[in-house]
Chains A and B, each alone.
Chain A
Amino acid sequence: MAVPALISGVDDSPDPETVRARYEASKASIDSSLAQLAAEQVKMDKEFDKTLSLTRGLQEQVRKNTAKVARDAS
């Protein structure tokens, strides 16, 4: 057993500076994750806008085709 542990009342928990450093590291990590998430969200939003645009184009094409079929039938 380490000698300091034999002395009663010795605080063997990490010192405040070490805890602060660990806290800063965890904060930096979560900030980085948030930034990545925000960037991914922007990319997903753009992709979704593209999906909406393609869907509108598809709807328009269906409308045209339906009109053509109706014209041909008449």
Chain B
Amino acid sequence: MMTLLQAVPFDTWVPIVTGSGGALVILCIVSWKLWKKVEKRDGDVDSAHKSQMEMLITVNKEGDVLFQKQLESVAGVRKTLEQLNVLLGAITKILEAQNGTLEDIRKSQQNLHVSLGIIQGIIHGNHGGGSSPDLRG
């Protein structure tokens, strides 16, 4: 019985083998190129993610600076309100004294002087008056 190799002439096998080999080589090259393309795309994703994070870092830093400024501003308003409250308390006491005797008025005026001293201390960064009476009504 003749084998396939014996049945088909040699000059017929040559193009078949070279053609198959060539096709295999082309297939390998295409696969390799496709693989490299996918790999490159993954790299691009990583790079994009990194640059996105770097942008967020910049935004966060700028936001942080703004929030710190706002914090200082709010703290400043709160301190001013505290001073205003001391003053309002003192003025109320003066007005209350006007309803009373002359002696009450005199005492209230003294209290007002103490309160103004505390306010001046706060304004000048000297938080004195800790032992002073609370005159905030």
Which B residues are in CB contact (< 8 Å) with A50? 81, 85
Q: Could you say which residues of chain B place their CB within 8 Å of the CB of A16? A: 46, 49-50, 53
A58 B57 Cβ-Cβ under 8 A: no
Question: Which residues of B (44-97) have their CB < 8 Å from a CB of A?
Answer: 46, 49-50, 53-54, 56-57, 60-61, 63-64, 67-68, 70-71, 74-75, 77-78, 81-82, 84-85, 88-89, 91-92, 95-96
Q: Is the interface of B mostly helix, strand, loop or mixed?
A: helix
In angstroms, Cα B45 to Cα A1, docked, is 30
Q: How many residues of B contact A (CB 8 A)?
A: 33
Smallest CB gap from A41: residue in B = B74
Chain A residues with CB under 8 Å of chain B are: 13, 16, 19-20, 22-23, 26-27, 29-30, 33-34, 36-37, 40-41, 43-44, 47-48, 50-51, 54-55, 57-58, 61-62, 64-65, 68
Instruction: Say what secondary structure dominates the interface of chain A.
Output: helix
Please list the residues of chain B having a beta carbon within 8 angstroms of any beta carbon in chain A. 46, 49-50, 53-54, 56-57, 60-61, 63-64, 67-68, 70-71, 74-75, 77-78, 81-82, 84-85, 88-89, 91-92, 95-96, 98-99, 136-137
User: Are A61 and B95 neighbours in the complex by a CB distance under 8 Å?
Assistant: yes
Given contacts A23-B57, A47-B85, contact A58 B99 (CB under 8 A): no
